């Protein structure tokens, strides 16, 4: 998972239509600027989930709700999801926030907030308890996983295979969390690949990439954002000058224009599988830095709608799910 070879990457025909998965990190509300805490388990924002789901219904999108323990444990968290799942309007996956997911054996802190840093048996135990709970709530075991804080580790792929997962969504290309003892994804890109001991686990990375006239100079961006150049805010200068801008395919912290620029650039590069993602607490004002008022929430939802308009209209793309993609990519692999 952390070191794919060239032979592991999926074969994708550039003549294919673009395909979009939508992933919602469905989790408790907490202050991202503070240290993680086992006391932060509020899931009040889940009461607003239906207004988001109506948007997905409009575009016939089956979103992937990757659900963590506080949401799955509390009725205010799981009941809105049960209504969506039972009506066939969404897909359920697992999302592991270890600091609020039993068993509670590790010390709470930044390093252990990345589940892949935990001892193998503890990471596996937490994920098994979460999967058992999700199975109880939704009637089937999850087959899709996204690590909290993108925190996969050396044991994660083997654990996922052993527990019956088929797709992982944890890799966040061009991002480096090593300063917090997290994974370093700076050499990864948006293309899906096969991983795991038996190479049966499909990795669909979050869509992150670069636009701008210097977009092939990825190392320049890393240098500009590293010490001591980070004090000069060179990364921001490169972005504002249209030279080099790292963009996530998300309405959280990125504009519609940036999302579309990334989409068009990667499409021209031959990328055909895109992952659009954000966090469930953003659907109520005041829970994340991205939505702090009702006006910003309306802008947030409008940005999603306009992005879907562009993807399904101008790009003639199609919505899909991770498991549907796995079937499609497996067939393509077997035909070569």
For each of the domains in the chain, give its residue range(s) and CATH number, in order of start: 15-206+276-334 (3.20.20.370)
Give me the pLDDT at residue 334, please. 80
The Cβ of residue 281 has, within 10 Å, a number of other Cβ atoms equal to 24
In whole angstroms, what is the distance from residue 95 CA to residue 323 CA?
A: 16
Q: Tell me the sheet residues that pair with 318.
A: 19
Give me the pLDDT at residue 217, please. 60
Question: What's the DSSP call for residue 176?
Answer: B
**SS3 of the chain: helix, strand, coil, percent, to 5:** 45, 15, 40
Ramachandran quadrant class, 316 (left: phi over 0; alpha: psi -120 to 50; beta: rest): left
Give me the pLDDT at residue 94, please. 99
Give me the pLDDT at residue 115, please. 98
pTM of the predicted model, to two decimals?
0.94
In whole angstroms, what is the distance from residue 252 CA to residue 254 CA?
A: 6
Give me the pLDDT at residue 182, please. 97
In whole angstroms, what is the distance from residue 218 CA to residue 186 CA?
A: 9
Q: What element of type H or E holds 276?
A: strand 273-279
Positions of the chain with pLDDT under 50: none
The Cβ of residue 57 has, within 10 Å, a number of other Cβ atoms equal to 16
Give me the pLDDT at residue 33, please. 87
């Amino acid at each position: 998972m952390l070191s794919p070879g060239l032979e592991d990457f999926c074969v994708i025909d550039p003549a294919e239509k673009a395909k979009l998965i939508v992933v919602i990190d469905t989790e408790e509300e907490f202050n991202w600027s503070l240290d993680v805490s086992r006391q932060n388990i509020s899931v009040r924002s889940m009461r607003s989930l239906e207004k988001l789901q109506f948007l997905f219904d409009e575009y016939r999108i089956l979103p992937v709700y990757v659900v963590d323990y506080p949401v799955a444990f509390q009725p205010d968290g799981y009941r809105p999801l049960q209504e969506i799942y039972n009506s066939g309007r969404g897909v359920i996956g697992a999302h592991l926030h270890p600091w609020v997911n039993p068993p509670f054996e590790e010390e709470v802190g930044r390093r252990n907030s990345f589940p892949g840093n935990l001892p193998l048996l503890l990471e596996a135990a937490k994920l098994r308890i979460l999967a058992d709970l999700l199975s109880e709530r939704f009637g089937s075991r999850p087959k899709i996983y996204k690590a909290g804080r993108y925190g996969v580790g050396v044991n994660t792929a083997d654990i996922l295979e052993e527990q019956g997962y088929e797709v992982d969504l944890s890799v966040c290309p061009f991002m480096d969390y090593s300063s917090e003892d997290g994974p370093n994804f700076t050499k990864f890109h948006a293309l899906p690949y096969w991983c795991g001991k038996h190479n049966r686990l499909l990795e669909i990375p979050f869509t992150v990439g670069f636009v701008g006239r210097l977009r092939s100079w990825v190392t320049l961006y890393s240098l500009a954002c590293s010490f001591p150049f980070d004090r000069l805010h060179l990364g921001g200068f490169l972005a504002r000058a249209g030279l080099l801008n790292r963009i996530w395919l998300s309405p959280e912290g990125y504009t519609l224009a940036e999302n579309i620029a990334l989409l068009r650039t990667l499409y021209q590069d031959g990328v055909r599988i895109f992952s659009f993602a954000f966090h469930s607490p953003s659907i109520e004002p005041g829970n994340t830095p991205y939505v702090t008022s009702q006006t910003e929430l309306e802008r947030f939802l409008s940005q999603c709608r306009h992005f879907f308009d562009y993807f399904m209209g101008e790009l003639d793309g199609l919505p899909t799910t991770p498991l549907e993609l796995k079937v499609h990519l497996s067939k393509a692999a077997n035909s070569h």
